[in-house]
Amino acid sequence: MLKIENLNKSFGGVAATNNVSLEFDEGSLSAIIGPNGAGKTTFFNLITGAFAPDSGRILLKGQDIAGLKAPDIARRGIGRAFQIAQIFPTLTVYEAIIAAVMAHHQQHGAMAQRFPLPSARARAEEVLDLVGMTARAHVLSRNLSHGDQKLLDIALALALQPQVLLLDEPTAGMGPEERWQMMDTVQALWRRERITVIFIEHDMDIVFKVAQRICVLSYGSVLAQGTPDEIRSHPEVIKAYLGTEHGTQH
């Protein structure tokens, strides 16, 4: 589904992404972990077209999308929700999702119409149901709680009908109970939509319980990748990142 080959990106001579090669199977649920400055968000920025790589390939179903503009990448099937929610604060939840649907289908002229297209309304209602926000459809986005703003950000990404969904710290700024509620929603979306989900997360309890596979980045390079059990017992990962609390020494 998504294959990264020898991806490199430097800023001012500092390698933010250093020869990264990873593969994410169709319908998989994967976590990206690593200390601050490991290159996790840069990795997402390269996949989504926010940055162009210096070299390497990003293959989506065999087609190289490296260096394409962000809207083109989104239309090809990659959606993203951000660490800090990117919402439309002056629109209601419903209006924001409709705007995202229309922009995705390049129906910019229709966005100014009083009554949105039936297809856009139908998709917006479907997405509201997917993220459990139907009851808050007519709430102004800026008046939502922090957790609901994060959910709306995910909803806006889902409005684009992605094949791959990237979630940059979906539980950031939440309390323990909210975090698990968010990840329950993410898992339900993953199962229902059967899409490939990749998420960045610092809460290791969540990572080891939720992810099928884990990639560990360190200083822009892949330190390790594997199942939760393989990562938990990986000596270099324990030493560089996990410590003995989550890792198991052999």
Percent of the chain residues topping a pLDDT of 90: 71
Judged by phi (left if over 0) then psi (alpha if -120 to 50, else beta), residue 67 lies in left
Beta-carbon count within 10 A of 55 CB:
12
Residue-wise pLDDT for 161-217, tens only, equals 899 999 999 999 898 999 999 999 999 999 998 999 999 999 999 999 999 999 999
Dist. CA 91–CA 168, nearest whole Å: 23
Length of the chain: 250
- The mean of the pLDDT values for the chain is 89
| More confident site: 94 or 106 | 94
Please check the confidence at residue 119 and state whether its pLDDT lies above 70: yes
To which residue do tokens 């609901």 refer? 148
By mean pLDDT, which of 113-122, 146-155, 207-216 is the weakest?
113-122
Q: How far is CA 231 from CA 38, 44, 203, in A?
A: 16, 21, 14
Instruction: Give me the domains of the chain, ranges plus CATH numbers.
Output: 2-85+163-246 (3.40.50.300), 88-143 (no CATH)
Dist. CA 21–CA 176, nearest whole Å: 33
> Taking Cα atoms as reference points, which of 134, 128, 74, 138 lies closest to residue 106?
74
| 130-147: average pLDDT | 93
Tokens encoding 19: 């020869």
pLDDT band for position 87 (50/70/90)?
Answer: confident
Nearest-10 Cα torsion for 205, 211, 216, 221: -150
Residue-wise pLDDT for 27-38, tens only, equals 999 999 998 889
Please check the confidence at residue 108 and state whether its pLDDT lies above 80: no
pTM of the model: 0.89
> Which strands make up the sheet holding 14-24, listed edge to edge?
14-24, 2-11, 55-60, 63-64
Please check the confidence at residue 250 and state whether its pLDDT lies above 50: no
pLDDT band for position 106 (50/70/90)?
Answer: low
The SS3 call for residue 226 is strand
The terminus-to-terminus CA distance of the chain in angstroms comes to 34
pLDDT band for position 19 (50/70/90)?
Answer: very high
pLDDT band for position 159 (50/70/90)?
Answer: confident
Beta-carbon count within 10 A of 106 CB:
10
